[in-house]
Amino acid sequence: MADIEYTVADHIATIRLNRPHRKNAFTLEMIDTWADALIDAERRPDIRVVVLTGTGGSFCSGVDLSVLDEIEPTPLGAKNLLTKHVHRVAHAAQALSKPYLAGVSGDAFGAGMDMALLTDIRMASESARFSQAYIKVGLVPGDGGCYLLPRIVGSATALQLMWTGRVVDAHEALSLGLVSEVYPDDRLEQAVLDLAREIARQPPVAVQMIKRSARFGERHDLATALDLISSHHAVVMATDDSREARRAMAEKRSAYFVGR
């Protein structure tokens, strides 16, 4: 089986890390496949939600340290490892207009935690553990942690976690806002799939416009955000799906959305 699997069914794309013997630590080949999967999911109209998960009781323990032996042993080589490979996933995730959900079981350490932070919603099993473990090996967060974590948990908490590499269990992660829900290990995958299906049943253009507006609002003032949403609102109202939603409500039936 492949080290990373990309499948599509019922409007849901699943990216599954599949190196359980290495706690799903990623290789350069996996990173390139991962980025390509996100780009493909953004391009395809039949995909409405993307789910990220891992096999074997782990989410992702970060980069496989053997990768460091493959790069040129210079500062430029180290920079290129990130900019030409690892950061492709971050850029593709940032460009993804569709909901991106993570189901986290076991360890999400180092770059594995950063990869989880790149998703829109993180759901955890009771075995989940998070750590900005870079400091433990004398490194700095290399895949967006310094940008993302303060925006999720606040600056002081983020700095403490990054400076110490302290391990956060699932319930503390919930209290910090790192994850939205915690489930028993044997229920997590179904819970993530249930949410993905619920979102996939909504009008996809409206879903994507909501995500774009929320992300835009994080970086701009209210007046600018309101001006943008007025345009989005006008576009969404003119879609077939918006008209179908209103008809279905009036007729007291389930709506059927086609993405236009």
pLDDT in tens, 223-244: 988 998 999 889 988 898 888 8
- Would you give the distance in Å from CA 98 to the centre of its chain? 10
Cα angle 47, 197, 121; round to 5: 85
Mean pLDDT (whole number) for 14-18:
97
For 135-178, write each residue's pLDDT tens digit.
Answer: 998 999 989 999 999 999 999 999 999 999 999 999 999 999 99
User: Sorting pLDDT into bands at 50, 70 and 90, what band is 5?
Assistant: very high
pLDDT at 4: 96
pLDDT at 206: 92
* 36 CB-near residues (< 8 Å, 6+ apart): none
Q: Cβ distance 126 to 120 under 8 Å?
A: no
Structure-token match 């948990």, residue found: 153
What are the structural domains, with CATH classification, of the chain?
4-200 (3.90.226.10), 204-251 (1.10.12)
C-alpha–C-alpha distance, residues 76 and 73, integer Å: 8
Distances (CA, A) of 130 to 120, 127, 149, 237: 17, 10, 12, 41
Query: pTM (2 decimals)?
Result: 0.93
The Cβ-side half-sphere exposure at 62, using a 13 Å CA radius, reads 24
For 48-77, write each residue's pLDDT tens digit.
Answer: 999 999 999 999 998 887 877 777 888 898
